Amino acid sequence: MTATSTTSGPRARQGRAPSAAVLGLHRGVIELKCFFREWDNVAFTFALPIVLLLLLGSVFSGVYEGSTVTSAQYMVPSMIAAGIASATFVNLGISIAADREDGTLKRLRGAPMPPSAYFLGKIVMVLVISLLEVVLIVALGVVLFDTALPTEASAWFTVGWVFLLGVVACSFLGIAASSLARSERSAGAVMNLPFIVLAFLSGIFFTPIGALPDGLTQIGALFPMKWMGQGFRSAFLPDSILAQEIVTTSWETGRTALVLGAWCVAGLLLCLATFRWRGKRDR
Amino acid sequence: MDTTPAVRVRGLTKRYRGVLAVDGIDLEIARGQVFALLGPNGAGKTTTVEILEGYRDRDAGEVEVLGEDPQRAGRRWRYGIGIVLQDASDLTELTVRETVRHFARYYPAGRDPEEIITAVGLAEKAGARVSTLSGGQRRRVDVAVGIVGSPALLFLDEPTTGFDPSARRQFWGLIRSLAEDGTTVLLTTHYLEEAENLADRVAVIAGGVVVADGDPGTLGGRAGAQATVSWLEDGQQRTQKSHDPGALVADLTSRHAGVVPGLSVSRPSLEDVYLDLIGSTER
């Protein structure tokens, strides 16, 4: 008797094993349903950047010296970066910590699910949420703050790659950080603290970035959000606003791609080193 | 029909930080059997079951579940296993139907989700979110997820904890119908009544070792133990232990000229045997 026949027993199975890709897509649908049905998720990670844009965008008025850009218009592309970070880093950090605590991970490990399907589902979820977030922020900018959409294909290309590299880097960091939270309840705090601090240091909640003290922007420049904000501003804003950036002569496109790409690799390595299927209380 | 045992365990040992949790357990569960594992908290029940489920690695011993070593078995092996976890609180935002349908996708030949929902008695709740269900209904969802791949072996870890008596009886009916279909069931429970009602075979674990293993009717020498005969005499309760209660009753009947007031004859209950086995200090 072979090993395979012992597993099938009296009820021999037909049909092929479902592929990880198909299961991952199904998981993505399930994850999205759960996300939008849970009010605190939506408020915490989806609505926060939009609400902040509405508040901060309406507080300050006037244009920056030497340009026609208002502070609200400056904030729109910057807030896209924060929106992505929230939809990926904060959202994944909280949702995976919750999955670990409420038994989701345990149940899935006990089911015949390839582990990659779980992560693929999370990626599908954050891609959809991030896209929605970006569309909403840009729409608000256009309607309320007269944000001009980029007209050149090269600018849209920049939006595309900054979006993709930003989503991937921040997602990996969120997955890695999910292991830091001791429980689902503490995960919100654990994830939001670095998010808010970095959004401040990246010139997103405090504008323009060039007005921040050097020491602070140097810390911000170590992390992806600063480069995402800068990348989106390069696509949405005229070059006349460069005077308000840290490096006032260039958008540093190459360096942006390099830093974000490096964070994608580092984030993946961190995930592989730190991901735990089991919770701290479940040893 | 496969005649190899569904579960075969020899000398299973597991330590947590040097402390022995499981100390050389032997178990054998035949195909189609309902096997109950009893024992106080901390006896090593859950550790043993989680090793069989492939969640934990053992330190020593041999384990074969459906002919494979759970530590090395892959996704194919999981098609034959169903797991109902003890304390899952996940899936809250999905409906019963969405949940069962989703888990059916993991199997090459899963059962019809609607049929499963009806089998576990949740047809009327199929469209309800899991978070709105009662504790008993929630466990039925867990069972539905556990059996949707028609497993050859189903693990039930304390499935009726917190149930009211009528919900427990209904649940037993569900487990019996699965057993009638030929599913092997490994059940852990705190309820002796549950083991007596459902199990073909019972093993008692205490302090990481099997202290008794056998038919629930004869466990711990129960059938051969002295019976207790009690009756009323001169308005007072009298009890006497006897190896031959029939003779004693006949004697009493003739003494009381027909009707013996308050007569009862009892063997030690499974609970008496169990408490005796695990030692009175464990109470």
Q: What is the pLDDT of residues A31-49, one digit of tens each?
A: 999 999 988 888 888 899 9
Parallel, antiparallel, or unpaired for β B153-157 and B19-29? Answer: unpaired
Q: Residue A4 belongs to what H/E stretch?
A: helix A3-8
Q: Is residue A177 part of a domain?
A: yes
pLDDT reported for residue A1: 37
Q: How far is CA A137 from CA A2, A33, A77, A209, in A?
A: 59, 22, 8, 19
Phi first, then psi: give them for residue B188, nearest 5 degrees. -110, 145
0.90 surpassed by pTM: no
* Local confidence band at A188 (pLDDT 50, 70, 90 cut-offs): confident
pLDDT digits (tens, 9 = 90+) for A99-150: 998 889 999 999 999 999 999 999 999 999 999 999 999 999 999 999 999 9
pLDDT (mean) for A200-218: 89
pLDDT reported for residue A110: 92
Which residue among A3, A6, A15 places its CB closest to the CB of B108?
A15
Test A7 with B1 for CB contact under 8 angstroms: no
Q: Is residue A257 part of a domain?
A: yes
Considering only CA atoms, which of A34, A131, A48, A123 is closest in space to residue A84?
A131
Which residue among A8, A9, A111 places its CB closest to the CB of B106?
A111
Parallel, antiparallel, or unpaired for β B227-233 and B236-242? Answer: antiparallel
Nearest CA in chain B to A98: B90
Q: Does A111 touch chain B (CB under 8 A)?
A: yes
Residue B53: its chain A contacts at CB < 8 A? 110
From CA B277, how far away is CA B252, in angstroms rounded?
33
What residues form DSSP beta bridges with B204? Answer: B38, B212
Residue B78: its chain A contacts at CB < 8 A? 110-112
Test B79 with A13 for CB contact under 8 angstroms: yes
pLDDT reported for residue A179: 86
Residue B108: its chain A contacts at CB < 8 A? 13-18
Q: Residue B100 belongs to what H/E stretch?
A: helix B96-104
**Residues on B contacting A at a C-beta cutoff of 8 Å:** 1-2, 4, 16, 31, 53-55, 66-68, 75-81, 83, 85, 87-94, 98, 102-103, 105-109, 129, 145, 149-150, 152, 182
State which residues form the domain around A231.
20-59+66-282
Which residue among B1, B88, B105 places its CB closest to the CB of A107?
B88
Interface test with B, best of A1, A2, A4, A6 (most B CBs within 10 A): A6
A50 pLDDT higher than 70: yes
Per-residue pLDDT 10s for chain B (283 aa) are 567 899 999 999 999 888 888 999 999 999 999 999 998 888 888 899 999 999 999 999 999 999 999 999 889 999 999 999 887 788 889 999 999 999 999 999 888 999 999 988 899 999 999 999 988 889 889 999 999 999 999 999 988 877 788 878 888 998 998 899 899 999 998 888 888 889 999 999 988 888 888 888 777 676 667 788 888 888 888 888 888 888 888 888 888 887 888 888 887 777 777 777 777 444 3
Which residue among A18, A37, A102 places its CB closest to the CB of B106?
A18
| Number of domains, chain A | 1
From CA A80, how far away is CA A84, in angstroms rounded?
6
Phi first, then psi: give them for residue B185, nearest 5 degrees. -125, 130
A204 pLDDT higher than 50: yes
CB-based burial, B6-25: b 16+ in 10 Å, e otherwise: bbbbeebbbeeeeeebbbeb
pLDDT reported for residue A227: 96
A78 pLDDT higher than 60: yes
Interface test with B, best of A7, A37, A39, A184 (most B CBs within 10 A): A7
CA dihedral B137, B168, B33, B157 (to 10 degrees): 60
CA atoms within 13 A on the CB side of B134: 10
Three-class SS state of B238: strand
pLDDT reported for residue B171: 85
Nearest CA in chain B to A37: B93
Residue count of chain B, please give it: 283
Q: Is residue A15 part of a domain?
A: no
Q: Is residue A11 part of a domain?
A: no
Contact B204, B211 (CB under 8 A): yes
Q: Is residue A5 part of a domain?
A: no
Contact A92, A122 (CB under 8 A): yes
A198 pLDDT higher than 50: yes
